[in-house]
Amino acid sequence: MDRFDAMKLFTRIVELGNFSKAADDLKLPAATATHAIRQLEARLGIQLLHRTTRKVTPTTDGQAYYQRCLRILADVEETEAGFGHRGVLPKGRLRVDLPTLARFYVLPRLHEFMDRYPGIEVEIGMGDRYVDLIGEGVDCVLRVGELRDSSMVGRRVATLAQVTCASAAYIERHGTPATIDELQRHQAVNWYSIAAGRMLPFEFLVDGQLREVQVPGRVTVSTGEAYVACCAGGLGFAQLPRYHVRQMLAEGTLREVLAQWPAPSLPVTVLYPRQRQLSPRVRVFADWLADVMTAAA
């Protein structure tokens, strides 16, 4: 194993805290990974890792070497990508995580990205859960809503207008609220934010000021698809991205209410670890996502 590959292996062991997981991640035999790190430590003349039966952690020297490796690996990738005008495009594996609703606006156009960058292989995880980018080896995530993790680099790629709505069946059965206060006499499909660790209130802009309202409801969800399905199924009011329910609103399946007090727009952000910010693969994917999200918004 050459020094460059040994560096990549070492960084993954540090990030995953486990030889076997890092070997699997890089599609290497576990014995090869162990031997390569022993050779690396022998060549450097230092111990890089503390090994226990449960966890592998870097030594003080190992942590310093890890930080240097990250910069070197990023510099090499950036240098190679700098010759893109000579026909060298970014290549390699890109691991991304997308919210569930992305299947409506990202996945249908993913072929455009794949055609543009034939050397990039994309592995996609999908869900609305919190993702440990470093520990899970994810290069970037697309997230909708306000963010709390300041350890990541964030690039806002769009803002999505929201609509407060309920199904036509629910409104015909329970009536239309004329004011925000009247929502207290109705039911909501409430959203539990895994990132925030709590149920989020409804939000309205009233005379330029944000007003939060906790609407009673018997159903709480934590995924985008469940949120839309429960609202369309007549379980109560929800605040949803307008682009996603535009067709249902046009067909009359869903009805907008309280339009004079709009919900604030949702930010859409690409997040990636600081050590990935120079990665050409991440950069071109973030650029492409910005184009896709601008069109969707």
For residue range 195-219, what is the model confidence (pLDDT) as tens digits?
A: 778 899 999 999 999 999 999 999 9
Q: What distance in Å separates the CA atoms of residue 133 and residue 141, rounded to the nearest whole number?
A: 8
Q: Can 89-157+270-296 and 162-264 be said to share one CATH topology?
A: yes
Q: What distance in Å separates the CA atoms of residue 207 and residue 119, rounded to the nearest whole number?
A: 51
- Give every CB contact of residue 103 below 8 A, 6+ residues apart in sequence: 126
Domain 162-264, classified CATH 3.40.47.10, yes or no: no
Pick the residue with more confidence: 2 or 134?
Answer: 2
Domain 89-157+270-296 superfamily per CATH: Periplasmic binding protein-like II (3.40.190.10)
Q: What distance in Å separates the CA atoms of residue 276 and residue 196, rounded to the nearest whole number?
A: 25
What pLDDT is stored for residue 80 in this prediction?
Answer: 65
3 state DSSP class of 153: strand
What pLDDT is stored for residue 116 in this prediction?
Answer: 93
Rounded mean pLDDT, 268-273: 85
Query: Does residue 151 have a pLDDT over 60?
Result: yes
What pLDDT is stored for residue 174 in this prediction?
Answer: 96
Query: Does residue 231 have a pLDDT over 70?
Result: yes
Rounded mean pLDDT, 17-38: 90
Proportion of the chain above pLDDT 90, given as a percent: 47
Query: pLDDT of 121-150, one tens digit each?
Result: 898 988 777 777 766 778 888 888 777 656
Task: Name the band, by pLDDT with cuts 50, 70 and 90, for residue 239.
Answer: very high
Domain 3-81, classified CATH 1.10.10.10, yes or no: yes
Alpha-carbon distances of 158 from 23, 102, 111, 277, 285, rounded to whole Å: 37, 13, 21, 19, 14
Query: Does residue 71 have a pLDDT over 80?
Result: no
Task: Name the band, by pLDDT with cuts 50, 70 and 90, for residue 4.
Answer: confident
Task: Name the band, by pLDDT with cuts 50, 70 and 90, for residue 15.
Answer: confident
Query: Does residue 238 have a pLDDT over 90?
Result: yes
Query: Domain map of the chain by residue range?
Result: 3-81, 89-157+270-296, 162-264
Task: Name the band, by pLDDT with cuts 50, 70 and 90, for residue 51.
Answer: confident
What pLDDT is stored for residue 87 in this prediction?
Answer: 55
Query: Does residue 193 have a pLDDT over 90?
Result: no
What pLDDT is stored for residue 86 in this prediction?
Answer: 52
